[in-house]
Chain A
Amino acid sequence: TQLLEQSPQFLSIQEGENLTVYCNSSSVFSSLQWYRQEPGEGPVLLVTVVTGGEVKKLKRLTFQFGDARKDSSLHITAAQPGDTGLYLCAGSPQEYGNKLVFGAGTILRVKS
């Protein structure tokens, strides 16, 4: 079983629609990171959330860290074809020491 469960696994939407991707765990994380990966490239760090309840905005992307620091969400407003990619959440659960673990990812395809 995945320590970090991401949903949905796959999302295909039209340009201009809104969407939310979820990252859930039964473990507590000191911080969670979100990455975006395009085909043939390495993951690129988008944001780190640290404080329970924290909300961070990056242009049309809004990231939220759950109050209990066990879950996080990524909301994209008015999706663009350039948002297409694999979105990954990652973190180091407190019981795992410094090991950085990843969710399985959400594949997002935005059609024009």
Chain B
Amino acid sequence: NAGVMQNPRHLVRRRGQEARLRCSPMKGHSHVYWYRQLPEEGLKFMVYLQKENIIDESGMPKERFSAEFPKEGPSILRIQQVVRGDSAAYFCASSPQGSNTEAFFGQGTRLTVV
């Protein structure tokens, strides 16, 4: 039973390009969380999604950032017109149900904007 799969592991983008980060949740999990982490800091909540629905996007910047979790396929975190400040590790977690259950993390995507 595969765990949470994120790809790519490392992504380099030039300023102004788009970054697409993918997350395939664990089998049977229908809830996905995205978090952002800077070096030696904790995890900052970005967005919480169920299949085809955004439940809570209060941690996501209003501009340039979007997320989706379609009925089929992985969840996508999309960052348009990237800037240097977007450089960070982005982690995805999944859980089988939303409330008070454990979340299991992928290995993250390290985005570097040059």
**A residues within 8 Å of B by Cβ?**
6, 30-31, 33, 35, 41-45, 48, 50, 86, 88, 90-92, 97-105, 107
How many residues on chain B are close to A (CB under 8 Å)? 27
Q: B41 to chain A: which residues have CB within 8 Å?
A: 104-105
Known: A42-B107, A42-B108, A43-B105. A30 touches B100 (CB 8 A): yes
Q: Are A44 and B40 in contact (CB under 8 A)?
A: no
Closest 4 CB pairs of A and B: A98-B98, A42-B105, A104-B42, A30-B100
Q: A33 to chain B: which residues have CB within 8 Å?
A: 102-103
Q: Are A42 and B106 in contact (CB under 8 A)?
A: yes
Tell me whether B114 is interfacial, beta carbon within 8 Å. Answer: no
Give which listed residue, B31, B55, B91, contacts A42 with CB less than 8 A. Answer: B91
Given contacts A33-B102, A44-B105, A45-B103, 4 further A-B contacts (CB under 8 A): A43-B93, A98-B31, A98-B55, A99-B55
Q: Are A45 and B43 in contact (CB under 8 A)?
A: no
Chain B residue at minimum C-beta to C-beta distance from A102 = B43
Q: Are A31 and B42 in contact (CB under 8 A)?
A: no
Q: In the complex, what distance in Å separates the CA atom of A107 from the CA atom of B95?
A: 25
Contact with A along B37-52 (1 / 0, CB 8 A): 0001111010010000
Q: In the complex, what distance in Å separates the CA atom of A42 from the CA atom of B26?
A: 14
Q: Are A102 and B105 in contact (CB under 8 A)?
A: no
Q: Are A88 and B42 in contact (CB under 8 A)?
A: yes
Q: Are A30 and B91 in contact (CB under 8 A)?
A: no
Tell me whether B65 is interfacial, beta carbon within 8 Å. Answer: no
Q: Which residues of B (14-42) have their CB < 8 Å from a CB of A?
A: 31, 33, 35, 40-42
Q: In the complex, what distance in Å separates the CA atom of A50 from the CA atom of B100?
A: 9
Q: Are A98 and B48 in contact (CB under 8 A)?
A: yes
